Amino acid sequence: MSGTETKVSVAEFEEIFESVKNWGRWGPEDELGTLNYITPETVREAARLIRSGRRVSMAIPINKVAGPDNPMQATLFVVQGHDVPVDGSKVRFGLDWLGMAAHGDTHTHVDALCHISYDGLTYNGRPAVEVFRSSGATEQDITVYKDGLVGRGVLLDIPKHRGVKWIEPGEAVRRDELETCAKAEGVEIGEGDILLFRTGHHRRRLELGPWNNEPPPAGQGKAGLHVDTIPWMHEKRISAFLVDGDGEGVLGVVGGVM
């Protein structure tokens, strides 16, 4: 779904924002947010579901090619290769240097809570200018996740549910479709689960090439969730949310916000 029917006013957005805030739920000093839903018990329950033990990476290759959706491509320098003798020793070392932006649509990454602020505040009502400055983050940074994110992952594959290869750029997936997709897949989403949401973004990119995914008129936009899915995730008490192609939300749905 795309177009004017997806639009949400700032007032409507802020009403949703206030209704789902977890500020103070786990104390004024908390930096984990919904990761508090991951407990030793939820991890044990998730571990009991393992059958084959097969490991599957969800990372995409580091992209070193500039494009309309990758203006800050990764830079790789080979510092020392095995083809260049350094001394008379039989031992040589291969060394490289990699520089990349942590964020963007072509780099797999995890956002820390200091990443986003709204109206001058980050999670738990912390002043954004104190949380993240030009010198770096003082709290709510990625080191908070140092123990890792382990839990039950639940995949909602919307393109497969629709019978298509991918969701077209600019399309917003709404709450009712998440619910019908989960029902069709025969899965239940519960407290502490890690939600995996697939749009088919990278399959489209591989088959058709990159595109400018800024919202129109600058670009074509990108597929993602509609704002009305936020209360649903809040009610389900999911711990974390993973998406392909940076499609956690459709840009331009809330005028004056994103």
Note the pLDDT tens digit of each residue in 205-224.
999 999 998 888 888 988 99
- Is there a domain that residue 96 lies in? no
Q: Do 184 and 154 share a structural domain?
A: yes
Q: Do 174 and 120 share a structural domain?
A: no
pLDDT in tens, 151-176: 999 999 999 999 999 999 999 999 99
- Is there a domain that residue 176 lies in? yes
Per-residue pLDDT at 4 exceeds 50: no
Asked if residue 159 has a cis previous peptide bond (ω within 30° of 0), the answer is no
Exposed e or buried b per residue across 64-96, where buried means at least 16 C-beta atoms within 10 angstroms of its C-beta: eeeeebbeebbeeeeeeeeeeeeeeeeeeeeee
pLDDT in tens, 146-155: 999 999 999 9
Q: Do 223 and 124 share a structural domain?
A: no
- Is there a domain that residue 166 lies in? yes
What is the predicted pLDDT for the residue at 236?
Answer: 98
Q: Which of 145, 169, 192 corresponds to the end of one domain?
A: 145
What is the predicted pLDDT for the residue at 158?
Answer: 97
Q: Do 240 and 166 share a structural domain?
A: yes
Q: Do 129 and 230 share a structural domain?
A: no
Per-residue pLDDT at 3 exceeds 50: no
d(CA 215, CA 3): 11
Per-residue pLDDT at 255 exceeds 60: yes
Contact 125, 18 (CB under 8 A): no
Q: Do 231 and 185 share a structural domain?
A: yes
Taking the whole predicted model, whether its pTM rises above 0.85 is answered as yes
**Could you give the number of structural domains in the chain?**
2
What percent of the chain clears pLDDT 70, i.e. is strictly above it?
A: 97
What is the predicted pLDDT for the residue at 167?
Answer: 95
Q: Do 139 and 208 share a structural domain?
A: no
Per-residue pLDDT at 2 exceeds 50: no
The residue range of the domain holding 115 is 111-145
Q: Do 179 and 156 share a structural domain?
A: yes
Per-residue pLDDT at 5 exceeds 60: no
Contact 169, 211 (CB under 8 A): yes
- Is there a domain that residue 13 lies in? yes
List of long-range contacts for 5-12, beta carbons under 8 Å, 24+ apart: 6/172, 6/226, 6/250, 6/253, 7/253, 7/254, 7/255, 8/227, 8/228, 8/253, 8/254, 9/254, 9/255, 10/254, 10/255, 10/256, 10/257, 12/227, 12/254
Q: Do 116 and 216 share a structural domain?
A: no
Q: Do 200 and 180 share a structural domain?
A: yes
Q: Do 209 and 237 share a structural domain?
A: yes
pLDDT in tens, 39-87: 999 999 999 999 999 999 989 999 999 999 999 999 999 999 998 887 8
What is the predicted pLDDT for the residue at 258?
Answer: 67
Q: Do 242 and 154 share a structural domain?
A: yes
